[in-house]
Amino acid sequence: MNEIGKNLKRIRLLKNLSLKDAGNLLNMTATAISKYEKGEILPDSKKLIDFANAYNVKSIDLLKVYNVPKMQFTSFRKKKRLTGQNLELLKELIENKVSKYLEVIEMNNIDTVNMKLKKYSCLNLDDAEKVARDFRNDIKISNKQPISDLINILENLGIIIIQIENPNNRFDDFDGLSEIVNNIPVIVLLKGIKDGARQRFTIAHELGHLILDIKNKELDEEKLCNRFASALLMPKEAIINEFGSSRENISFFELKAFKNEYKVSFTAICYRLKDLNIISEYLYKKLNIILSKKIGKNDPNPIEPEISYQFKKIVYKLENNKIISLNKACELLEVTVDEYNSENNNYGYQYNNRLK
């Protein structure tokens, strides 16, 4: 499939149009639309304008070319309901986002050689716990303190964090992705997750996929990554320091305080307490019943989600240093010139294509 065809298909899917819908807009058959998307027919300039008008985009959007990497999607976590066009579109959006990130890394002369993550041997669940402690030690964070900004820490290690837009909640059944692309570790999750505790656990889980060297292939990798994520965000030492080594009851205030300090969910805390045998199975079930009555399915006071600024920072730097044009910066960030300039004006700068 040629690049124009890929763009035609991606934009059609983003507009939530079937081949028949697109054909009706363009007064063409669904078969003809499909042939344009497959590259069997190349659109001339007039036809490009017709497509752009029908899809309400700029003609230049149909001509964009990126060196899209071939991804394996082996650690691609989703629910079974995510299938068909939505799954196909999501994978294409991920590949495009990754390709843009790789492009700005190359233009910024970032050394990717030193981005290789250390692998930690893992033979069982206890090893996953140990890896979390070792990882914290390696990044010099005490096992008795919370990780306040997980995204920032991982990005400083050279891990690309990509947050994918979720138009009309089409990708709600996507949980996360981790993969090494062109020797660079990548973690992908949805943008707009309202619960920061869930978001952070997803990131920690995907980190587990990247760094756990699982020797026994019969082990459940998902369970190992869940244990790693839990131990990374809530180290055993911190849990015992806060709650003690054995409890017959726990107050809601204690759970709430720990949740806010360590930025984890009530559910994750209770499971961790049970997993470490600090509370019994009976108390675990009792706490879940209490929490269900008190806060329901959705926490009314969720943890604020973390935001990645790395990609945007690099793009602004490249544009400000005149390595890329203003139009190229807007293309990479998928914003208008006015939206791009407002980022500076909002902070009191006078901006007229360049900082003065």
Query: Does 346 have pLDDT greater than 70?
Result: no
- Name the band, by pLDDT with cuts 50, 70 and 90, for residue 354: very low
Q: What is the pLDDT of residue 348?
A: 46
Reported as half-sphere exposure (CB side, CA atoms, 13 A), residue 77 has a value of 19
Strands 174-181, 75-78: pairing kind: antiparallel
Reported as half-sphere exposure (CB side, CA atoms, 13 A), residue 12 has a value of 24
- Name the band, by pLDDT with cuts 50, 70 and 90, for residue 110: low
- Name the band, by pLDDT with cuts 50, 70 and 90, for residue 192: confident
Q: What is the pLDDT of residue 2?
A: 75
Mean pLDDT of the chain: 89
| CA distances (Å), origin 209, targets 79, 119, 128, 186, 201 | 18, 10, 11, 11, 13
Summarize the confidence of residues 193-217 as an average pLDDT: 94
- Euclidean distance between CA atoms 31 and 41, whole angstroms: 11
- Euclidean distance between CA atoms 179 and 198, whole angstroms: 20
- Name the band, by pLDDT with cuts 50, 70 and 90, for residue 336: confident
Task: Dump pLDDT digits (tens) for 226-269.
Answer: 999 999 999 999 999 999 999 999 999 999 999 999 999 999 99
Instruction: Calculate the CA dihedral of residues 329, 331, 332, 334 and round it to 10 degrees.
Output: 120
Query: What value, to the nearest 5°, has the Cα angle with vertex 296 and ends 292 and 298?
Result: 130
Summarize the confidence of residues 32-53 as an average pLDDT: 90
Summarize the confidence of residues 311-325 as an average pLDDT: 90
Q: How many residues does the chain have?
A: 356
- Of 168 and 303, the structure prediction assigns the larger pLDDT to 303
Residues near 77 by beta carbon (within 8 Å), at least 6 away in sequence: 174, 175, 176, 177, 222
Task: Dump pLDDT digits (tens) for 119-178.
Answer: 999 999 999 999 999 999 999 999 999 999 999 999 999 999 999 999 888 999 999 999
Summarize the confidence of residues 201-216 as an average pLDDT: 95
DSSP-based three-state secondary structure for 159? coil
| CA distances (Å), origin 339, targets 162, 259, 279, 323 | 21, 36, 52, 20
Lowest-pLDDT range of 113-117, 149-153, 305-309: 113-117
Summarize the confidence of residues 313-330 as an average pLDDT: 90
Q: What is the pLDDT of residue 275?
A: 95
Q: What is the pLDDT of residue 351?
A: 45
Report if pTM > 0.75: yes
Q: What is the pLDDT of residue 226?
A: 97
Q: What is the pLDDT of residue 39?
A: 87
- Name the band, by pLDDT with cuts 50, 70 and 90, for residue 345: low
- Name the band, by pLDDT with cuts 50, 70 and 90, for residue 111: low
Lowest-pLDDT range of 29-33, 66-70, 311-315, 348-352: 348-352
Q: What is the pLDDT of residue 218?
A: 87
Percentage of residues of the chain with pLDDT beyond 70: 94
Summarize the confidence of residues 192-208 as an average pLDDT: 95
- Of 233 and 338, the structure prediction assigns the larger pLDDT to 233
Summarize the confidence of residues 26-36 as an average pLDDT: 91
- Of 82 and 63, the structure prediction assigns the larger pLDDT to 82
